[in-house]
């Protein structure tokens, strides 16, 4: 549920994530977010734990562990693009193109989604997993309940809520 600005743009290691911000632990890894929209003065470090998912090709811990980079270099870099001996960070345009390419491969309407859709998806997934408001705010580094506007509920969930209200009103 990171914002695009946290790892894309003109690379500034004080604002964007570096490999040094990743802390590998036995259970997986911890992403230490030094700067965010709500914590611009580095007053606190927001930690995002990512648990290892064994036998899963989409495991983020596995992906991070095999990405080559030095501690001061960007967490995410363009494949095979090295300038002056350093890995090039993604630009916002690079991220938008990658998201667009993935949507096309999935036969999805590209005009219906943007990078912010991933934050929306993260909030929806956390809600569907049963996370409460404070947990969603913690994992998303949110200070308000604005994420509630992101959440898309399934029809089954809406029927469940309707039934629950109906039972209450009897």
Q: What's residue 106's pLDDT?
A: 85
Q: What is the DSSP letter of 16?
A: S
Which regions in the chain score pLDDT beneath 70?
1-9, 36-43, 78-87, 114-117, 147, 150, 152-153, 158, 170
Contacts from 52-56 at CB under 8 Å and sequence distance 24+?
Answer: 52/27, 52/28
Tokens of 96: 């938008």
Calculate the dihedral angle through the C-alpha atoms of 105, 65, 125, 112, rounding to the nearest 10 degrees.
-30
Quick check: 124 and 118 in contact, CB under 8 A? no
Q: What is the DSSP letter of 30?
A: E
165 exposure class (CB count in 10 Å sphere: 0-12, 13-18, 19+): exposed
- Kindly provide the residue ranges of all beta strands, DSSP E only, lying in 12-156, ordered along the sequence: 22-25, 28-33, 46-51, 77-83, 86-89
Q: What's residue 99's pLDDT?
A: 81
Mean pLDDT of the chain: 77
123 exposure class (CB count in 10 Å sphere: 0-12, 13-18, 19+): buried
Q: What's residue 40's pLDDT?
A: 54
Q: What's residue 81's pLDDT?
A: 64
- Kindly provide the residue ranges of all beta strands, DSSP E only, lying in 8-144, ordered along the sequence: 22-25, 28-33, 46-51, 77-83, 86-89
pTM score, two decimals? Answer: 0.59
Q: What's residue 88's pLDDT?
A: 72
Q: What's residue 9's pLDDT?
A: 59
Q: Which of 9, 11, 1, 140 is nearest to 69 (CA)?
A: 11
Q: What's residue 37's pLDDT?
A: 65
What are 112-129's pLDDT values in tens digits? 776 666 777 777 778 878
Calculate the dihedral angle through the C-alpha atoms of 23, 40, 89, 105, rounding to the nearest 10 degrees.
90
């Amino acid at each position: 549920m990171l914002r695009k600005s946290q790892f894309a743009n003109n690379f500034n290691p004080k604002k964007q994530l570096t490999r040094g911000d990743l802390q590998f632990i036995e259970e997986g890894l911890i992403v230490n977010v030094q700067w965010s929209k709500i914590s611009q003065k580095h007053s606190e470090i927001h930690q995002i734990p990512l648990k290892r998912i064994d036998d899963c090709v989409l495991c983020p811990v596995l992906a991070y562990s095999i990405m080559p980079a030095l501690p001061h270099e960007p967490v995410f870099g363009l494949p095979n693009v090295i300038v002056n001996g350093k890995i090039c960070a993604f630009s916002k345009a690079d991220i938008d193109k990658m998201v667009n390419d993935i949507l096309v491969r999935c036969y999805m309407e590209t005009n219906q989604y943007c990078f912010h859709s991933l934050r929306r998806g993260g909030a929806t997934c956390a809600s569907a997993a049963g996370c409460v408001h404070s947990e969603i705010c913690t994992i998303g580094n949110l200070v308000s309940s604005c994420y509630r506007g992101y959440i898309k509920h399934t029809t089954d969930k809406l029927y469940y809520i309707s039934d629950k209200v109906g039972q209450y009103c009897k």
